[in-house]
Structures are given as C-alpha cells and as structure tokens.
Structure 1
Amino acid sequence: MEEVVPGVWIAEGGPGWGWSNAVLVTGSSGIDHLLFDCQFTAGAGHALADRARQIVPGGSVGRIVYSHANPDHTWGSVAFPDADIVASAATAAEMPAETQAPVLRRILAQPDPPAGSGAAYLQEHFGHFDFDGVPGPRIPTQTYKDRLDLDVGGREVQLLCVGPAHTAGDTVAYIPSQKTVLAGDILFIDDHAVSWGAPLTGWVRALDTLLALDAQCFIPGHGPVVGREHVAGFRTYLETVVEYGQRQASSGTPLLEAAAVFNARRRYGWGLPERVVTLLAAVYREAGVEGEAQAQLGLVGLIAAHGADLDCRDSPQRR
C-alpha cells in the first residue's frame, strides 16, 4: 500500500480485468479504520488485512464500503469476518444478480471452449486468479439510499450514491479534509470502461457530481491516482460514446458494427478496447433498441465477439 494523502492508502491493482484498487482510510484518532473495496480473491483480502495491521499496529478494519456490486471489488471481504459491510441499498439489491463464484469456477474449468466465445475470453482474462476460499462476497450489514456520513477515527467520510452509472448503485467516498474522492468504478484510468447495463447518461451525471466536489485527488476503481483534468477527460470520453451511440442507434446500425466503426483501439490507445461494446449496448438500450444482452455473461459474450473482430481488423493481412 502507498499513502496518497495523509491517512489515505491505496493498494493499486494494476491494469487489466479484475485488478481493482482498494483504499484504506485511517482515522486521526481511534483504532477502527475503513476499507473502500477489498479486491477480488480471499488471498488479496488477506494481504490487505495484513498490510492494514502493519500500517496501524493494534488497529483494525471496522468497516468495509462496497463501491458497487462487482465481484472484483467485494469477494476479498471474506478476509474480514468481523467488519461491518456498508453499501448503497441499490448495490445490496443488485448483488444476487452478480455472477456467483461457483458459476465462474465452472466456466474457468471448462476444457477447450470455442475460440472467440465468452468462456474462452473469461479463461484468458480471469484464469490466473485463485478463487479458492471464495464462497462469494459478504452481504452488506448496513445500507443507505442517497448519502451517509461516517466518522472514521475523527475523519469525516461522506458516502454518496451516484448510481445508476457504472452499475445500479455506485458509491463514491468524499473526504473533505483531504480534498480526496474514492471514485470506485465511476472512474477508469488507462483501460477502457465497461458498463453492466445502467444508462450511460447517468454515468456522465455521476462524473459531474465528482467534479462539483472540492477535491483535487481522485482514486479510481482501476488505475493510478489522478487529478481533476483526468476526471474531466474521462467524462468527455463517455460523452463521446453516448453521442456516437445515439446516432448509430437512431440510424439502425447493428451494435457490433457500430462498435467496429468506433474502433476504440485507434482512437484512444487504452487497454481492453473490446469493452467499448458494453458502453454502446447501454446507449442502445437507453435509446429503446430491443434485443441487446443485459445479463453479465451475455455482455461478456458481446465483449468476446467484438474483441475477435478487433483482432481480425488489426491483423497484418488487414493492414
């Protein structure tokens, strides 16, 4: 873990699927501290617990805040059996619909799934994670609707529900004394974003909420710590996808064709450009286009199909 500002420590996951950030907030007094997200596996959760004990000897993580329901931010909670779990009511309601650990383990164990399939894609990007000891996330013990103010050892932490955005009930945490925002997956840096079905226009509004806060330091759910200019740039990116997607939806362009034309890899140079298809799918659904996948595994199939198309278009034979 690295201290970003006094009392705020990040365990940066790195680029790629599943490598999420976790943030430890230590109080200016007291021994109970807050963990914002807890990464993907039991092993990662235990490593976070060990590091927290090193940072604050004698202290403990008394509360975990889920930024949203996705497993790469919640499954590490099994390493904190005594901590209270705080989430928005919308996140708590969404958690049963998340891909469950036994289902993911079965998919990862499939022998030789067809190339370009969702199962093959999941094995490529998630096969290196060890999900032993992960029955699933701990269920929230406290929920809130719009805002919840917490006292973390004398440090004020404001939880704001800004969803639907990336998911149905995204939470960000604002620490006024440090002018710092823990953004969760409202903010992706260096990789393309992924949407799990919430309206993309809501995501743009959520970024407006972040930019309206008196903050200079923003910790994303994936990627390095950034300043306000990166938040504004990410907002512009999503707005570009929204405007493009609305035009393509109104003209009747098939989703995968629209994603191919957008050609995210050449426009931005970020990782995982195939995920743009999920952003466009959200725009298409908001525009009333029927038939687009909504469940997580269906969206993974779309991602895999678009990724295969990008690989084909970028092959030497097509240059």
Structure 2
Amino acid sequence: MAKAFASQGDMEEKKISFTQVGEGLYAFTAEGDPNTGVIIGDDSVMIVEAQATPRLARKVIECVRSVTDKPISHLVLTHYHAVRVLGASAYGAREIIMTDTTRAQVVERGQEDWDSEFGRFPRLFQGHEEIPGLTWPTTTFKDKMTVYLGSRKVEIMHLGRAHTAGDAVIYVPDQNVMFTGDIVEYHSACYCGDGHLADWPSTLDAIRAYDLDAIAPGRGDALVGREMVNAALDNTADFVTSTFKPALKVAARGGTLKETWDAIRAECDPKFADYAIYEHCLPFNVGRAYDEARGIDTPRIWTAERDQQMWNDLQGD
C-alpha cells in the first residue's frame, strides 16, 4: 500500500513550546511544525512568520499575551509559503514586511502554493475558512532594512538564496539573536522543493559569520548557545549537500528522476530518516535537486496536480 500523500496522515496535535531565546525574544515551536518568532520592543511587538491560518496564529498570540500586553505592530514574513503567511490577518499588524523577491513570488505562484500546501498539510489548515486571501506586504526591501521598536533595533536582511529565492532573516543586535526562517532547521528535514541548493551553503555561512548566541529556526527547537547554533548550521548544510550532490552525479551521466530518488535516499536515509517531515519533503526535494542539477535555475511552480504526480511517480508502489 502506498504511503499517505505528504502529511495527510499526520493529524495528531503537536505540543507547543514557547522558549525565550534572548531578552524579550521568543520562539514559538511545535514539534517540527512551522515556528514563529516574537520580538518585544519598548512599545510594541514584531512577529516573525504568521502561521498557516488565523486559528494557529491565535495560539501564537495567546503565548505572546502570556509575556506582554504590548500591541503587535509589525509582521515579518521570511518567504512566501502558505504555511508561513496565511494566518497574517489575525495579528492586526500595521506593517507586513517581506523582500521584493518574495512579493514577486506571491504574484507569480502564491495561489498555486496555497492550493498545493492545502493538500499537503490538512492538519495545519484546519479553520482555513477564515483566511481572507493571499497575504500582501505593506513594505518590501531588496537587501536590508532597519526597524526600530522604540530603542530596540531590528535588522531585516536578505543574505542569499536558500530555501527560496527571497529568504529574509531577522537579526536583533542587542541580543545577538537571529530568526532564520527555513534557511536553518533543527532535527527537521529541510524542504528544498523551491530551494536553491547550490547557493544554500554560502547563505548558511553568511549566517554563521554573525557568531550568534541563539537562533530561532524555521522548524524544530530553539537553538540557544553557540554550540547548538553551530551544530544546527552544520547539520542543515549537511542535509542540503547530501540532497544535491547525488543529484549532480546522476544528472551528469544523463540519469533519470527515479535514479536520483534512489541516490538521494541512499545518501540521506541513514542520517536523516528520523527527522520531522522527512518523508513528506523527500519527493519534492528530489524533484528540485534533479531540476537544479540539470541547470533549471528558477524552481518550477508546484501545483496540487504536480504534487500528486510527483508523489505517485516516486513514492508509490
């Protein structure tokens, strides 16, 4: 019997953690589900990542209200994926920030991504009826912008392509803490289906250069302390490289997608098979790695139909 498509079989509620990663800085995590960051300023709060629905966003807001009653003024979206952005309306933020590239990706593929991810993650989209539509920014930037939450300086930057072409990171200098979105994961598979695998390691190096005291990653536990930070950076780089190098070898000899699947599994299964959403991500990772290895620079748009075809081609009996 074929495996349940993507995460359709994963309907068990996850345990939520709300971890302090610095003074006035928190990571909302839930056992491998998408994380959200919280930055408390003098008079208001910045949220990093919106969650998939207003229902899930309200769980974040409940945690925020356990530590501050300051209003939520800013919402930063590190990339365009539906599980990260469609809960935005719940926060009532006056500013919604993303990179220029991410906004362009919402235009180009936002609806297709919503439809695709809705089929992949039914549990995360419970309460989807409340979603008012695609999430659009009020503010965009190319390389870097600075927001002051009173006296607290927050730097929002594009350090390079990785998980998507438009990834943003959010750095809080006074605590030397960074919110990385899905550029960095902890004991969770990297989703590479819209990624740039050749560029990803150098973007990780750009993050490493900050010599951070803590990272709130895209998925998995908060990373507190330099030892944990560096271990996660190493591990994420290993995951991406272990996915891409086998694809390069297969593509160089004119091999097939199925041969790429077999080669990537042989490399990644022994190291990463127990990671959160590993089996979910694998067909999409293989598809993108095979494309990029053959010189396709811009990731092809995933649709609900393409998702199912890819899954059946690679995961079926």
For normalisation by structure 1, the TM-score amounts to: 0.81
- Structure 2 residue matching 1:157: 3-state secondary structure: strand
**Helix, strand or coil at the partner of 1:45:** helix
1:277-288 pair list within 5 angstroms: 277-288=283-294
Q: Which amino acid in structure 2 is aligned with residue 126 of structure 1?
A: P
Letter in 1 for 2:39: V
Question: Relative to structure 1, is the Cα distance of residues 26 and 303 closer, same or farther in structure 2, using a 3 angstrom cutoff?
Answer: farther
Pairwise mapping of residues 178-217 of structure 1 onto structure 2 (< 5 A)? 178-217=175-214
Letter in 1 for 2:235: G
Q: Which residue of 1 aligns with 2:215?
A: 218
Q: 1:34 aligns with which of 39, 46, 49?
A: 46
1:9 lines up with 2:15 in the alignment: no
Q: Is the 8 A contact 2:73 2:95 kept in 1?
A: yes
Report the 3-state secondary structure (helix = DSSP H, G, I; strand = E; otherwise coil) of the residue aligned with 1:132.
Answer: helix
Q: Which of 135, 140, 144 in structure 1 is aligned with 2:141?
A: 144
1:300 to 304, 307, 310: 307
| Amino acid across the alignment from 1:268 | F
Which one scores higher on RCO, CA 8 angstroms, separation ≥ 6?
A: 2
Q: Which 5+ residue runs of structure 2 have no aligned equivalent? A: 1-17, 224-228
Residues 196 and 83 (structure 1), Cα distance of their counterparts in 2 relative to 1, 3 Å cut: farther
In the alignment, does 2:48 pair up with 1:48? no
Give the match for residue 36 of structure 2: 22
Deviation of residue 44 (structure 1)? 1.3
Q: Judge conservation of contact 1:99–1:296 (CA < 8 Å) in 2.
A: no
Cα shift at 1:299? 5.6
Paired residues, number: 288
Amino acid at match of 1:282: R
Aligned residue for 1:11, secondary structure, equals strand
CA contact (8 A) 1:52 1:60 kept: no
Residues 53, 124 of structure 2: 8 Å contact kept? no
8 Å Cα contact 2:81-2:114 kept in structure 1: no
In the aligned structure 1, how far is the partner of 2:183 from the partner of 2:151?
A: 27
Taking the aligned partners of 1:79 and 1:249, their CA distance within structure 2 comes to 45
Distance 1:228 1:75, change over 3 A: same
Change (3 A) 1:164 1:128: closer
Are 1:260 and 2:262 an aligned pair?
A: yes
Percent of aligned pairs sharing the same letter: 20
TM-fit CA distance, 1:239? 2.0
CA distance in 1, matches of 2:307, 2:164: 15
Partner of 1:79: 90
Amino acid at match of 1:259: W
Compared CA separation, residues 254 and 182, structure 1 to 2 (3 A): same
Aligned to 1:97: 108
SS in 1 for 2:30: coil
Partner Cα separation in structure 1 for residue 168 and residue 89 of structure 2: 20
Change in CA separation of 1:38 and 1:249 when aligned onto 2, cut-off 3 Å = same
Seen in structure 2, the aligned counterparts of structure 1 residues 163 and 52 have a Cα distance that, compared at 3 Å, is same
Most deviating of 67-76 and 232-241: 232-241
SS in 2 for 1:100: helix
Q: Residue 253 of structure 2 is aligned with which of 248, 251, 254?
A: 251
Deviation at 1:82, TM superposition (A): 4.1
CA distance in 2 between partners of 1:140 and 1:280 (Å): 31
Query: Does structure 1 conserve the Cα–Cα contact (< 8 Å) formed by 2:250 and 2:259?
Result: no
Counterpart CA distance in 2 for 1:53 and 1:260 is: 48
- How far off its partner does 1:306 sit? 6.4
For 1:53, give the aligned amino acid. Answer: R
Query: 2:283·2:314 contact (CA, 8 Å) conserved in 1?
Result: no
Return 5+ residue gaps in structure 1 as ranges.
109-118, 313-319
Shift of 1:101: 8.8
Tell which structure's C-alpha radius of gyration is larger: 1
Aligned-partner SS, 2:96: strand
CA shift for structure 1 position 246 = 0.9
Q: What amino acid sits opposite 2:175 in the alignment?
A: Q
- Is the contact made by 2:46 and 2:76 (CA closer than 8 Å) also made in structure 1? yes
Distance in 1, Cα, partners of 2:75 & 2:111: 20
Q: Distance between the aligned counterparts of 2:200 and 2:113, measured in 1?
A: 30
Question: Are the structure 2 counterparts of residues 126 and 54 from structure 1 closer, same or farther at C-alpha, using a change threshold of 3 Å?
Answer: same
DSSP 3-state at the match of 2:174: helix
C-alpha distance in 1 between matches for 2:244 and 2:261:
12
Query: Following TM superposition, by how much is the alpha carbon of 1:208 offset from its aligned partner in structure 2, in angstroms?
Result: 1.1
For 2:112 and 2:283, the matched residues in 1 are separated by 25
Indicate if the aligned counterparts of 1:180 and 1:217 stay in contact, CA closer than 8 A: yes
